[in-house]
Amino acid sequence: MKISIVGTGYVGLVTGLSLSTLGHEVICIDNDKDKISKINKGESPFYEPGIDDLLKKVSDKGVFYATENLEKSVFESEVIIIAVGTPTVNGKIDLSFIKKVSQQIGKALKKTKRYQVVAVKSTVLPGVTGKVVKPILEKYSQKKVGEFGLCMNPEFLREGNALEDALHPDRIVIGQIDERSGKEFAKIYAKVSAPIIFTNLATAELTKYAANALFATLISYSNEIARISESIEMVDAQDVWKGVHLDRRLSPFSGSTRIKPGILNYILSGCGFGGSCFPKDIQALASFANHQKVEAKLIKSVINVNKTQPQRLIVHLKDALGDNLQGKRIAILGLAFKPNTNDTRESPALPIIEELIAEGAEVIIHDPMAKQEGTPRTDTVEEAIKNTDAVVIVTAWEEYIKLTPQFFKENMKKPIVIDGRRIYDKHSFMKAGIIYKGIGL
């Protein structure tokens, strides 16, 4: 099939690449000329493991390319996927990109005579596809649903693992406005073995938010337990979670082998979640619940815990160095919100850096991929921690996990390590004479 995807951001590009590997001809559309040029040269505009290699592969095969020409692309396509951004502004979802693109697609649909399916893959609140996108498409195409199809197909991509998730999905959710729309759209996944759930538009929209809110809730719950652990002498949250994780309902047995599900990665204490999805989506969901006159106390609590969690690292830092951080040289290891991405959106590192600078500390940053304007960033970890008063671990990059106690001792004035991701063995660090503090400890 020939598929057009409007938007070359994280969702649009990864979706396009995965669909092109299934044998479809995919056109990704954007109005950014530089981004289009870069993509067509086989260079991704963002970092994701393996993405440049796959981009070059499908481009060389002639089954994938990027363009600015939306009208021509839509005219030629059987399926049109909307994958533009839906940022949260002042706590509410911003639909300006969705509305503009829906208008453009509607104008293009007006010029075609065959049946085409439009699918929203952008994360939108319940009702948006049916009450916002649909009337815009009908107005500008001068067609009614039935003459074209309409679906909502949420993505479940994890940054850092997005290609794996897109190429081997664990489920496909298709919200359909009518049976024909869903049946035609599902053809793009004909070669995928994952179960397909057909539902209505609003249910598909809420499924995405419910999934993200669940994982965000587990993280904030874990961090609240960490705060309680920190208040109790001789208690370490890491030890608490070892006992919790072995519950057979969380780690079931397959015969005599214990399974370790991925969900356990979210039931661990750290310095909070960030990225392009969790923060904005739960903010939007809380706002939506309020609009629906539903008191979403749990979701609001999740937001509050996460907003204040990075501050716990400052507390541990002051416990080790004293309340006066003026002139202290502090290294921040990790700027991206998680490893295997260069995405710094809502990263816990940002408020930590801001607070340290406000208190007069000298901040040095290292991250293998991410950058932050206006703050010194070193090329190597050794440069970052050289002669520092303390090191704060914010992102669990493999490069950092491999660091030894001896490495910190050799390069720091007096080795103080504040572990925001609990990537180190506390016993070996303390035994080596390092002042080691971490979330939950």
Catalytic residues: 277
Q: Which residues contact 123 (CB under 8 A, 6 or more apart)?
A: 86, 154, 155, 208, 209, 277, 281
Q: Which residues contact 173 (CB under 8 A, 6 or more apart)?
A: 153, 154, 196, 197, 199, 204, 207, 208
Q: Which residues pair with 83 in a beta bridge?
A: none
How many other CB atoms are found less than 10 A from the CB of residue 176? 24
Largest CA distance in the chain: 75
What is the distance between the terminal CA atoms of the chain, rounded to a whole angstrom? Answer: 54
344, 395 Cβ separation under 8 angstroms: no
Question: Token pair 């959106």 is at which residue?
Answer: 345
Side by side, which strands form the sheet with 362-366?
A: 362-366, 329-333, 390-393, 416-419, 435-438
Question: Token pair 């519950």 is at which residue?
Answer: 247
Paired sense of beta strands 329-333 and 390-393, if any? parallel
For residue 73, give the amino acid letter: S
Q: For 49-105, what is the HEC assignment?
A: CCHHHHHHHHHHCCCEEEECCHHHHHHHCCEEEECCCCCEECCEECCHHHHHHHHHH
3-state secondary structure of 238: helix
Query: How many residues comprise the chain?
Result: 441
**Closest by alpha carbon to 6, among 64, 96, 113, 85?**
85
Q: State the alpha helices, DSSP H only, in 186-270.
A: 201-230, 237-245
- DSSP conformational letter for 413: S
Phi-psi region at 80: left, alpha or beta (left = phi > 0; alpha = psi -120 to 50): beta
